[in-house]
Chains A and B, each alone.
Chain A
Amino acid sequence: MEMDRFEIQRQQGEPPPVATGGQRWLAWRLRLSGRRPSRDLATSSERSLISPLMLRRPLVRALYWGIFSLLLLATVTTFGPLYWMVSGALKSNVEIFQTPPTFWPTHPQWSNYSNAWQILQLPLYMWNSLLLAAGAVVLQLLVSATAAYALSKLRLRGKHAIQFAFFATLMVPSVVYLIPQFVNISDLPLIHVSLINNWAGVWLPEAANAFNILVLKSFFDTIPGELIDAARLDGASSWQVFIRIVLPLSRPALAVITIFTVIASWKDFLWPLLVLSNSNLQPLLVALYHESGLNANLPFSYLMAGLVFASIPPILLFLLFQRQIIRGVNLTGLKG
């Protein structure tokens, strides 16, 4: 990660040029990029309800290890079903419906995975899911970053009214306008175009994401105004300030939004199900749903194998970007 002016100056021991704005901004960057802000916090989080002194008592120690093993046991409830899915996909078509079920497949059929990969046409549907996610990221970043920049750094008439109109949509869950949205998509006003069976019908409605604007705007707000003024003095236009200063400095916030958009797009089900009835356009999860219902000849273990394949990308993303995701969840939990 490259250094910016303020971090370099801070390292040299100089006070930051803008005390409050700069520090808040730095705190945000640290929070989003997942680094610990300071030693102090790391040590203070060690101190919790149970005091170190209490832990020296044998009874408390015993209790502590008791709770520890209880928690360990409880993780079986999350790993158990996952194991059941992965091992179920290895069972033969007879064994999978056997009563009582076997806990470990007697003759693991590793070919189930490769067969499912072909029969369920997973390459096609994975590719569709991937493209849907990529389009969602591009469109959402474009729409929310430009809007957040205008709301945060430009002086505009009527800005507050527009801001209110954006953020008020946070109060309206999208399912309550699911039906009119469907009618809307099937015949857009004025231009009378139908986006049914068109990826744009999935991309465009999800691009109206006020939460992204909120996160980006509050991040942009912490970028010191002096930095932008300096660039303007040098003759940069608002577009150049946006491209060359605001966006490069906001990489951590943009990364969080990208990760969340990819995961949300991959997991999305109801809306693509309604919009994309053409099976060549469907994302993986919608296709699996249809396969399970229509194709009664589909071996159940193949369906399970398909589900395993569908779970791998989000789990992989989580393992790779754990810190960003955890911080993002904390942001959404508080504000969205």
Chain B
Amino acid sequence: MLLSSSSPSPLSPPRESAPTLMSGAGLLAARGERAHRRQGPLTRRLWALWRQVQGYLFLLPALLIFALFVWYPVLLGFVMSFQSVDLINPATWVGWTNYRHVLADPLFAIAWRNTLAFTGYALLFGYVVPLVLALAINEMRHGKSYFRLAFYLPVMLPPIVTVFLWRWMYDPDAGLLNALLSLVHLPGRLWLEDPQTALPALVVVATWSAAGSTMLVYLAALQGVPASLYEAAEIDGAGFWRRLWHVTLPCIRPIMLLMLVLQIIATMQVFIEPFTITGGGPQHATLSVLLLIYTYAFQNADFGEASALSVMLFLVLAAFALVYMRMTSRLLQGD
């Protein structure tokens, strides 16, 4: 039975011929099918079975791909974290050794601290900027679409382009930033060579390339604020700030919370900026967890330790993802 609606008639002709238009012939054929269905229960059961098989044929590509390239590797990751894997010799069982090694690695604490610092800075720069931009752009009566385009443009750049471009702009001698600073007679800095500024410098790159898409989400949310609410607040004598605080922000609060969680999940996976711009240096100041995983696997050829650290990252991210799922389901129910 494949009829998706709950139509009471038992008309579900399992014919495999080309569909005809709603014609007399078609109706006749359908009637013929009904007669056919009155045949014994065995035939009916066979048809039902054929329907199930047919349906699963539609699911087959996705089931195969998901099984082979998501469900299996996720499980394999847990298994590998208890194994010694170097892709040359067969894997051997080593128990908790990988975890013990990873926890004993002095870089472990550094990588987590840097990743958390990156997430913190990213929220500091990257959470307020898109919100303020969206609030301002939404008020504009002129050039709205120009602003939207201009601030979204960096999102379209491939990440490799962004990081190469910024690495050059951060260059202490030939870079744009120090040139601009010297224009206003300020001393230049060794942005990427100084452990103090290297991490914030990377956060600026990440924010520059991601703020546009968050801004778009906020803009859409702001357009969804009903005009009647503003008008009602106005009639009640609420001024600009009170309208902002009591109308605008409460209306977009669910989206703001979602963006917060999404941003945390995204920035904890920071990789490409430290990988290409600083290589994790100077003095491991920009080494992120994912970069450490990469180093374990592709420089030390220790896929077991890399998997153990991946499992830890997975647990942290899964906790945030659970929060996110709960929030979205509440949001969708609220619709």
Which residues of the other chain, A, contact B311 by a CB distance below 8 angstroms?
176
Cα distance A317–B152 when bound, in Å?
A: 13
State which of B19, B141, B179, B220 has its C-beta within 8 Å of the C-beta of A231.
Answer: B19
The proximity string for B residues 251-291 relative to A, scoring 1 for CB distances below 8 Å and 0 otherwise, is 00001001100100100010110001000000000000010
* A9-17, A111-119, A120-128, A147-155 - interface stretch: A147-155
When C-beta atoms are compared, the residue in chain B nearest to A60 turns out to be B240
When C-beta atoms are compared, the residue in chain A nearest to B160 turns out to be A285
Residue in B7, B55, B143 whose Cβ sees the most chain A Cβ within 10 Å:
B55
Cα distance A176–B319 when bound, in Å?
A: 13
B11 touches A233 (CB 8 A): yes
Query: CB of B109 within 8 A of chain A?
Result: no
Which residues of the other chain, A, contact B269 by a CB distance below 8 angstroms?
173, 175
Contact residues of A between 288 and 323, Cβ < 8 Å to B: 288-289, 292, 300, 303-304, 307, 310-311, 314-315, 317-318, 322
Q: Is the interface of B mostly helix, strand, loop or mixed?
A: helix
Query: CB of A211 within 8 A of chain B?
Result: no
State which of A96, A149, A232, A303 has its C-beta within 8 Å of the C-beta of B58.
Answer: A149
* B35-43, B110-118, B162-170, B191-199 - interface stretch: B162-170
Asked if A233 meets B30 with Cβ closer than 8 Å, knowing A100-B179, A177-B310, A335-B328, the reply is yes
Chain A's nearest CB lies how many Å from the CB of B77?
Answer: 4
When C-beta atoms are compared, the residue in chain B nearest to A289 turns out to be B160
When C-beta atoms are compared, the residue in chain A nearest to B290 turns out to be A175
A183 touches B66 (CB 8 A): no
B76 touches A183 (CB 8 A): yes
Which residues of the other chain, B, contact A226 by a CB distance below 8 angstroms?
5
Query: CB of B63 within 8 A of chain A?
Result: yes
Cα distance A269–B152 when bound, in Å?
A: 21
State which of B70, B150, B271 has its C-beta within 8 Å of the C-beta of A270.
Answer: B271
Query: CB of A58 within 8 A of chain B?
Result: no
B58 touches A150 (CB 8 A): yes
A181 touches B73 (CB 8 A): yes
Query: CB of B2 within 8 A of chain A?
Result: yes
Which residues of the other chain, B, contact A143 by a CB distance below 8 angstroms?
61-62, 65
Cα distance A303–B247 when bound, in Å?
A: 50
Which residues of the other chain, B, contact A184 by a CB distance below 8 angstroms?
68-69, 72-73, 76
State which of B22, B76, B318 has its C-beta within 8 Å of the C-beta of A180.
Answer: B76
Query: CB of A8 within 8 A of chain B?
Result: no
Residues in chain A within 8 A of chain B (CB atoms):
44-45, 47-51, 54-55, 64, 67-68, 70-72, 74-75, 77-82, 84-85, 88, 96-101, 103, 142-144, 146-147, 149-157, 162, 165-166, 169-173, 175-184, 186, 188-189, 204-205, 207-208, 210, 213, 225-226, 228-240, 242, 244, 263, 266-267, 269-270, 274, 285, 288-289, 292, 300, 303-304, 307, 310-311, 314-315, 317-318, 322, 326, 329-330, 333-335
Asked if A333 meets B55 with Cβ closer than 8 Å, knowing A181-B69, A204-B65, A226-B5, the reply is no
Query: CB of B56 within 8 A of chain A?
Result: yes
A233 touches B26 (CB 8 A): yes
Cα distance A159–B106 when bound, in Å?
A: 47
Query: CB of B248 within 8 A of chain A?
Result: yes
The 9 A-B residue pairs whose C-beta atoms are closest, nearest first, are A147-B62, A333-B217, A225-B5, A47-B227, A236-B19, A150-B58, A171-B321, A180-B77, A176-B314
Which residues of the other chain, A, contact B137 by a CB distance below 8 angstroms?
71
B2 touches A84 (CB 8 A): no
B173 touches A156 (CB 8 A): no
Which residues of the other chain, A, contact B222 by a CB distance below 8 angstroms?
48
Chain A's nearest CB lies how many Å from the CB of B96?
Answer: 18
The total of Cβ contacts below 8 Å across the A-B interface reads 342
When C-beta atoms are compared, the residue in chain A nearest to B148 turns out to be A326
A150 touches B55 (CB 8 A): yes
11 contacts across the A-B interface (CB closer than 8 A): A45-B223, A48-B222, A68-B142, A88-B168, A156-B59, A173-B321, A183-B76, A234-B22, A270-B272, A303-B164, A326-B148
Which residues of the other chain, A, contact B225 by a CB distance below 8 angstroms?
48
Chain A's nearest CB lies how many Å from the CB of B238?
Answer: 11
Query: CB of B230 within 8 A of chain A?
Result: yes
Query: CB of B159 within 8 A of chain A?
Result: yes
State which of A50, A99, A172, A244 has its C-beta within 8 Å of the C-beta of B74.
Answer: A172
B139 touches A156 (CB 8 A): no
B161 touches A310 (CB 8 A): yes
B169 touches A81 (CB 8 A): yes
Asked if A172 meets B69 with Cβ closer than 8 Å, knowing A67-B139, A289-B276, A311-B158, the reply is no
A292 touches B164 (CB 8 A): yes
List 18 additional contacts besides A289-B276, A317-B156, A335-B328; criterion CB under 8 Å: A67-B140, A78-B212, A82-B157, A101-B175, A146-B61, A156-B56, A173-B265, A173-B317, A176-B310, A177-B70, A179-B293, A183-B80, A184-B73, A205-B69, A234-B19, A235-B20, A238-B51, A326-B216
